[in-house]
């Protein structure tokens, strides 16, 4: 990935041999400030708002940018409109990743940080990456369905569940949940009822494609970075939680493919994935 910035130029998008080539020279400052505000707003209200880490945030953004580039290429030339939408998203994400560290002066610095980040063996870092990307999936899916509330905010569960007909459905608290080893039996029993009788209409297909692709990426990250480390753990509760993460990510991918309701997706993430990540990898809630 080569990213070059030159002052006083606009972002350029070019097409070459059936591939979309994104050459970033300089996004307008206003766009960058808006992007920073967007990331800040998206994390402000999480009920499972884990303490951030700059490296995990960087890795998460890089993965998201890679997804957008991949989707831009796969849609060109069959659907130029979608290809351009994903290209613009990739530009914003790469710009944000490039500017996220004051020590990144040029492409060499960026590549060095990128390589170091991808070689990291810190399971907490990669667990945060999984949590970050899952949150981004919620955001993208909410946009895809044109939902008017924030799916990443667990306090919106009661709003999301107003349309659910099953009165015995699991009710989520509006405050952060601290997970302990005793929580595992509850999670393992899967006391979450999914309402998968209807398929939801997609409004914004670019966001839907992003959510689907991110669900594939997060499963790959788990399999490559976290699952191999699980074998070295002697903690039974941790192993059970890690198994639940694996199952939960696969369920999330299936829910998206089946165009499940926002309620179902929120219930899975906030009721299974986030608590299991918190328990398995000791993630701390942001104070």
Spell out the alpha helix ranges (H) of the chain: 29-44, 54-75, 80-99, 107-118, 123-144, 157-160, 184-188, 205-221, 227-230, 236-257, 262-268, 274-281
CB 161 within 8 A of CB 262: no
Place of tokens 């992007």: 35
Q: Over the stretch 72-130, which tens digit does the pLDDT of each residue have?
A: 999 999 999 999 999 999 999 999 999 988 889 999 999 999 999 999 989 999 999 99
Q: Distances from the Cα of 280 to the Cαs of 86, 92, 238, 259, 267, in angstroms?
A: 34, 33, 5, 29, 19
pLDDT at 45 over 50: no
Q: Give the pLDDT confidence score for residue 154 in this predicted structure.
A: 87
Q: Distances from the Cα of 24 to the Cαs of 7, 9, 141, in angstroms?
A: 11, 9, 27
Q: Distances from the Cα of 129 to the Cαs of 143, 156, 219, 226, in angstroms?
A: 21, 23, 11, 11
Bridge partner residues of 12 (DSSP):
23
Q: What is the pTM of this model?
A: 0.76
Q: Which residues contact 268 (CB under 8 A, 6 or more apart)?
A: 192, 194, 248, 251, 252, 255
Q: Over the stretch 119-159, which tens digit does the pLDDT of each residue have?
A: 998 999 999 999 999 999 999 999 999 999 999 998 887 76
> Which of 141-150, 171-180, 278-287 comes out lowest in average pLDDT?
171-180
CB 113 within 8 A of CB 62: no
Q: What is the Cα–Cα distance from 266 to 261, expressed in whole angstroms?
A: 9
Q: Which residues contact 44 (CB under 8 A, 6 or more apart)?
A: none
Residue 105 has a CB neighbour count (10 Å cut-off) of 10
Structure tokens at 253: 């991918």
pLDDT at 57 over 80: yes
Q: Decide: helix, strand or coil at residue 285.
A: strand
* 248: phi then psi, degrees, rounded to nearest 5: -65, -40
Q: Give the pLDDT confidence score for residue 30 in this predicted structure.
A: 40
CB 256 within 8 A of CB 228: no
Q: Give the pLDDT confidence score for residue 196 in this predicted structure.
A: 47
Q: What is the Cα–Cα distance from 25 to 46, expressed in whole angstroms?
A: 34
Expressed in angstroms, the distance from the first to the final Cα of the chain is 36
CB 58 within 8 A of CB 101: yes
């Amino acid at each position: 990935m080569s990213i070059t910035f030159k002052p006083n130029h606009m972002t350029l998008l070019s097409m070459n041999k059936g591939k979309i080539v994104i050459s970033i020279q300089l996004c307008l400052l206003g766009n960058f400030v808006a992007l920073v505000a967007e990331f800040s707003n998206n994390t402000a209200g999480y009920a499972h708002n884990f303490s951030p880490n700059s490296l995990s945030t960087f890795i998460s953004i890089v993965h998201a940018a890679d997804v957008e580039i991949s989707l831009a290429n796969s849609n060109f030339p069959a659907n130029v409109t979608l290809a351009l939408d994903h290209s613009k998203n990739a530009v914003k994400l790469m710009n944000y990743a490039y500017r996220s560290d004051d020590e990144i002066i040029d492409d060499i610095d960026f590549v060095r940080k990128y390589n170091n980040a991808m070689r990291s063996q810190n399971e907490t870092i990669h667990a945060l990456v999984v949590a970050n990307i899952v949150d981004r999936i919620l955001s993208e899916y909410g946009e895809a369905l044109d939902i008017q509330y924030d799916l990443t905010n667990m306090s919106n569960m009661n709003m999301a569940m107003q349309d659910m007909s099953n009165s015995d459905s699991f009710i989520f608290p509006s405050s952060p949940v601290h997970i302990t080893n005793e929580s595992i039996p509850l999670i393992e029993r899967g006391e979450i009822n999914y309402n998968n009788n209807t398929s939801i209409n997609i409004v914004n297909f670019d966001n839907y494609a992003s959510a689907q692709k991110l669900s594939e990426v997060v499963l790959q990250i788990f399999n490559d970075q976290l699952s191999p480390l699980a074998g070295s753990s002697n903690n039974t509760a941790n192993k059970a939680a890690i198994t639940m993460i694996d199952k939960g990510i696969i369920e999330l991918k299936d829910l998206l493919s089946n165009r499940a309701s926002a309620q179902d997706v929120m219930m899975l993430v906030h009721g299974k994935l986030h608590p299991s990540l918190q328990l398995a990898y000791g993630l701390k809630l942001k104070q």
